[in-house]
Amino acid sequence: MRFDDRLKTVMTQPVADAHDRTVRWRQLVDLLSRPHDETDPALLDAALTMVRTGMKGVARATRAATARSIAGRASDPRLLAIFASDRLEVAAPLLAAAPLEGEDWALVCQAASPEVAAFIRTIRGEVSHAVPIADEEAAAPAETEIREVETPSIGEMVARIERLKHRRDDPGAAHGMTVQERPAEMPIRAARLFRWECDASGQIGWVDGAPRGALIGRSLPADEGAGPALARAFADRLPFDDAPLHFPAPALAGDWKLSGVPAFSPVDGRFLGYRGVARRDEGDSGVNRPPVPAMITPDAEALRETIHEIKTPLNAIIGFAEIIDGQYLGPAHRTYRTRAAEIVEQARLLLSAIEDLDLAARVQRGDTAPSIVNIGELVQELVAELSAEGRVRIEVQPPAGSAIVEADQQLVGKLLARYLKALSIAAGEDAPVRVNLARSTKNIAVTASRPVSLAGCSEAQLLDPSFAIQGDTSSTLLGVGFELRLVRGLARLARGELSVGADQLQLLIPLSQS
């Protein structure tokens, strides 16, 4: 059977449900990753379109597995461009092994999402990064900005984090002074107009005239609760003018009017995204907006940008290690594969911790919103997950009354997950951990008796990030001290506390964030 016949057969096979669509999508990707120089161009274009449009209905884990399976084999830049528009964990192994030349890389960069574009610059510094959707007038500032963003060394990133920590610990912050009361080292000016660009999925990748950290990575219109007019324009690839939009970020808080025009590739007419401008709604002068609280400082925005700079090389490390572990470019000795698997595991642990810091930065910036959270149900779900992983047996005593709080659900989820994980690491194979939930007039208390391995340890020891339990092999990188230190930091962000007693650990979560 010829390639054309196989491609046509797969494209025309009936699909009854999501499973069938996923199977067809994987078969199309597999066929398109093979040589097809003599294929009918119209048929090839139709197949690529089916892959591009069908990607949204395929689970991320399946997309990532498919990308790894064709790594080193796929050479069609149009297929690689489709994967480049996806998340970095999906695209990294495929792009790291891509056998492309300069012009082909330019096409891939043009379609790449912001985090994938940064990854490509990291692994192939000689590839010039084409701005995805800009004319000559708009391209200049974007290119200038890209040249300014250099990949920092590990030492530079550590030094930057230390500077941020010292600024957070200054006397003004300690005494609860507001941003307006503190010395104006980095004044925050209220933006009235800014220019923006987003990719085909609506994710903002370039901003001029407004704080980048408040906008980069946000999705239009999905994340912002946009009106039906803007959503309809995006769906139909139509221009829009003065579409109302509300930004929750403190630096841009208020109502805005967005105008944008769609951009299409001059090569194949493919939709690339939108570019446009945003103007503050004249009816929203900003006078009635609530004052910015003390913890929303320029440091929070700088910290978030630093976090993104760390995540890019870390994702690259994960991608390369997965290539070795999966032998996608050829056989590798068992020793190398074992080491690569360890690197993937440890890098993912670091990535998880960095994502917690990213969440903390967003909380400090005021980008999150409280919701109703049932602490009792959440604890039971997390305990079931830990038990399924075979970590340890945790016995939960539910509260006498309700265990519902008003808080940011993601923050509370991370907080409880870290807390229970620290307990499981400390308990090991000893007696089961007993956790008691109790409600007071102000808090929900999640109390656990100290595991035997933590007996006699002072509070300073337990909260030392380098503290690890002797003989513990379950966590080779981030020990119980790191977990508890992170728990306390997240608890304080939620206006709660982690207290260390002589025979127990107690996590306090306030009933309300207000």
Give pLDDT, residue 302. 64
Same domain, 381 and 490: yes
Same domain, 446 and 336: no
Tell me the per-residue pLDDT of 280-319, one tens digit each, with 9 for 90 and over. Answer: 876 544 444 443 343 444 555 666 667 777 777 788 888 8
Task: Please give the residue that has the higher pLDDT: either 429 or 279.
Answer: 279
For residue 283, being part of any structural domain is answered with yes
Residue 82 confidence (pLDDT) above 90: yes
335's CB contacts (< 8 A; 6+ apart) are: none
Same domain, 332 and 345: yes
Residue 377 confidence (pLDDT) above 80: yes
Give pLDDT, residue 85. 92
Start-end of H helices in 85-113: 88-96, 102-111
Confidence of residue 84 (pLDDT cuts 50, 70, 90): very high
Same domain, 490 and 419: yes
User: With the CA atoms of 214, 513, 164 and 359 taken in that order, what torsion angle do they form, in degrees rounded to the nearest 10?
Assistant: -60
Select from 291, 316, 347 the last residue of a domain: 291
* Highest-confidence segment of 253-267, 347-361, 498-512: 498-512
For residue 238, being part of any structural domain is answered with yes
Residue 156 confidence (pLDDT) above 60: no
Same domain, 504 and 390: yes
Q: What mean pLDDT do residues 223-243 have?
A: 76
Tokens of 497: 């506390």
Dihedral of CA 113/117/119/120: which sign?
Answer: positive
Tell me the per-residue pLDDT of 27-39, one tens digit each, with 9 for 90 and over. Answer: 899 888 887 776 7
- Which of 222-236, 271-285, 311-325, 468-482 is predicted with the least confidence, judged by mean pLDDT? 468-482
Same domain, 173 and 250: no
Same domain, 17 and 99: yes
Tell me the per-residue pLDDT of 157-166, one tens digit each, with 9 for 90 and over. Answer: 555 555 555 5
For residue 348, being part of any structural domain is answered with yes
Residue 370 confidence (pLDDT) above 70: yes
The CATH number linked to 474 is 3.30.565.10
Same domain, 377 and 457: yes
* Contact in structure between 320 and 335 (CB atoms under 8 Å): no
For residue 140, being part of any structural domain is answered with no
> Cis omega before residue 244 (within 30°)?
no
3-class DSSP state for residue 93? helix
Task: Please give the residue that has the higher pLDDT: either 399 or 284.
Answer: 399
In angstroms, the CA 398 to CA 434 distance is 11
Q: What mean pLDDT, rounded, does the chain reach?
A: 75
Confidence of residue 177 (pLDDT cuts 50, 70, 90): very low
Dihedral of CA 202/236/29/66: which sign?
Answer: positive
Tell me the per-residue pLDDT of 186-225, one tens digit each, with 9 for 90 and over. Answer: 444 456 788 888 888 888 888 877 777 677 777 777 655 5
Residue 325 confidence (pLDDT) above 70: yes
Select from 341, 363, 385 the last residue of a domain: 363
Same domain, 419 and 490: yes
In angstroms, the CA 222 to CA 143 distance is 27
Give pLDDT, residue 2. 54
Confidence of residue 508 (pLDDT cuts 50, 70, 90): very high
Tell me the per-residue pLDDT of 19-29, one tens digit each, with 9 for 90 and over. Answer: 888 888 988 99
Q: Domain of residue 9: give its range.
A: 3-128
In angstroms, the CA 234 to CA 262 distance is 9
Give pLDDT, residue 223. 59
Neighbouring C-beta atoms of residue 393, cutoff 10 Å: 15
Structure pTM?
0.43
* Contact in structure between 197 and 272 (CB atoms under 8 Å): no
Neighbouring C-beta atoms of residue 275, cutoff 10 Å: 21
Give pLDDT, residue 146. 33
Give pLDDT, residue 314. 81
Residue 493 confidence (pLDDT) above 70: yes
Same domain, 168 and 315: yes
Give pLDDT, residue 83. 93
For residue 144, being part of any structural domain is answered with no
329's CB contacts (< 8 A; 6+ apart) are: 71, 72, 97, 323
Select from 257, 273, 291 the last residue of a domain: 291
Residue 129 confidence (pLDDT) above 70: no
Give pLDDT, residue 430. 61
State how far the alpha carbon of 265 is from the alpha carbons of 132, 135, 163, 308, 394, in Å.
Answer: 9, 11, 43, 28, 56
Give pLDDT, residue 371. 80
Number of domains the chain is built from:
4
